[in-house]
Structure 1
């Protein structure tokens, strides 16, 4: 790793409309880079893909949950108490397993020279 490369961690956000079936659609990515104090989410909701898994899934609720994640990342009061914590703690909160329709996948890592651009790349590659 060169001096200009920054280590980062990320999680893929999955929409799991029917957890008992263990099927999901990737809807977002959260990237945390401690070295550059970067924590941000990127997301896209493909309504057709979600409705293919479960036509009853509320895409409005999925988008509201993703907007909450945006608020936590940004330290916005709409993210509740979690948004008041340091970025590393916020990432820990976001990567914690949940039994809701929106679930984080496992933590992955890498190195980058530009965390924002890396996030765009991951969203494009992993979410579509």
Structure 2
């Protein structure tokens, strides 16, 4: 079975942008050759409170959920965009509480399994 190129970015929560401290809260993975775009997110509210006791965890969860929604069939304002276009829009640099980190690449036989592996390695403790 052949391996395909994929790109991914860690979805980060930066509760106080001016401090630059962050929590890895998800992974966004795109594999053009497989027509695959998916995000997996999970917020550790205790870690969020450790960085900013006043952070609104529900608002952060909603912002994280927008990444998952943008990858699906009901992608809201991104519905007309190609999967690659959505990935580029989602990984564009921004100075908000929820943001994507740098884009990295790799090879995989199964993008879904790779997303799970990256999520466990980069997000879960």
CA distance in 2, matches of 1:4, 1:58: 44
Indicate the residue corresponding to 2:7 in structure 1. Answer: 9
Moved over 6 A (4+): none
Please, which runs of 5 or more residues in structure 2 have no aligned partner?
none
2:41, 2:65 within 8 Å by CA — same for their partners in 1? no
Q: TM-score, structure 2 length as denominator? A: 0.95
Higher helix share: 1
Q: What is the deviation of 1:51?
A: 0.6
| 1:107 matches 2:103 | yes
CA distance in 1, matches of 2:19, 2:49: 14
1:95, 1:105 within 8 Å by CA — same for their partners in 2? yes
How many residues matched? 124
2:3, 2:109 within 8 Å by CA — same for their partners in 1? yes
Indicate the residue corresponding to 1:45 in structure 2. Answer: 43
The Cα RMSD (Å) is: 1.0
